[in-house]
Amino acid sequence: DVVMTQSPLSLPVTLGQPASISCRSSQSLVHSDGNSYLNWFQQRPGQSPRRLIYKVSNRDSGVPDRFSGSGSGTDFTLKISRVEAEDVGVYYCMQGTHWPPITFGQGTRLEIK
Amino acid sequence: EVQLVESGGGLIQPGGSLRLSCAASGFTVSNSFMTWVRQAPGKGLEWVSVIYSGGSTYYADSVRGRFTISRDSSKNTLYLQMNSLRGEDTAVYYCARMLFGSMDYWGQGTLVTVSS
């Protein structure tokens, strides 16, 4: 099974400042079709998870452009250029390349400092 | 508009059974890969099961042999039959549509509490 490891697990950020979350996989997420199926989800308090990014760097419709995804192979990053109050919540990476089983990172809790 | 609505959660004693439902609209369940994901109180996301459009099913080790995923095309609904429930199965259960190695739409979740 592919293990997904996120860091940090807790991320206090000042409003307007950037934030970055790392996600590392235990094996390369490059699929035989050439794509890397690495996704990022946001879960606000009391809500269901919402997809932000798919295939490493593709932003979902309605996701602000302050969110961006990057990376390749086994190392991936979610960046928020300027944190806003509505960004508070838990962020998860998820791999969809080698499944089943589908695996998630442990989650990173973003809070406002 | 795609929508997923789960139901069927509740309080159940250890060893009991429960069936969760996920009613879909805006797309056809039987033409899609559909999955269940759960989240124990205060914990992260854990994948539970998937059903492929062709009908193949897969399960996490923690639920294999106890849970069964299925669908009803006439009702456009996904199900999760949960037997021999344990305390560690206590969680919010989400259904989600899988597309190209991702989960693009999620339901609001239904809470299952296993306790005596």
Chain B contact set for A101 (CB, 8 A): 47, 58, 60-61
Q: Which of residues 15-74 of A touch B (CB under 8 A)?
A: 31, 35, 37, 39, 41, 43, 48-51, 54-55, 60
| Min Cα–Cα distance to chain A from B7, Å | 14
Q: What percent of chain A shows pLDDT beyond 70?
A: 100
Instruction: Provide the edge-to-edge strand list for the sheet that holds B18-25.
Output: B3-7, B18-25, B77-82, B67-72
| Of A51, A95, A103, Cβ closest to residue B104 | A51
Q: Average per-residue pLDDT in chain B? A: 97
B97, B32 Cβ separation under 8 angstroms: yes
Once rounded to an integer, what is the mean pLDDT over residues A38-57? 98
Contact status of B42 with chain A (Cβ, < 8 Å): no
Please, which residues have CB within 8 angstroms of residue B73's CB and are 6 or more apart in sequence?
B28, B29, B30
Neighbours of B52 (CB within 10 A): 12
d(CA B6, CA B77): 9
pLDDT for the residue A78: 98
Please, which residues have CB within 8 angstroms of residue B99's CB and are 6 or more apart in sequence?
B32, B33
B49, B67 Cβ separation under 8 angstroms: yes
Chain B contact set for A104 (CB, 8 A): 44-47
In tens, the pLDDT along A65-99 reads 999 999 999 999 999 999 999 999 999 999 999 99
Q: What percent of chain B shows pLDDT beyond 90?
A: 99
In tens, the pLDDT along B62-107 reads 999 999 999 999 999 999 999 999 999 999 999 999 998 999 999 9
A109 band by pLDDT with thresholds 50, 70 and 90? very high
pLDDT for the residue B24: 98
| Min Cα–Cα distance to chain A from B74, Å | 27
Once rounded to an integer, what is the mean pLDDT over residues B22-36? 97
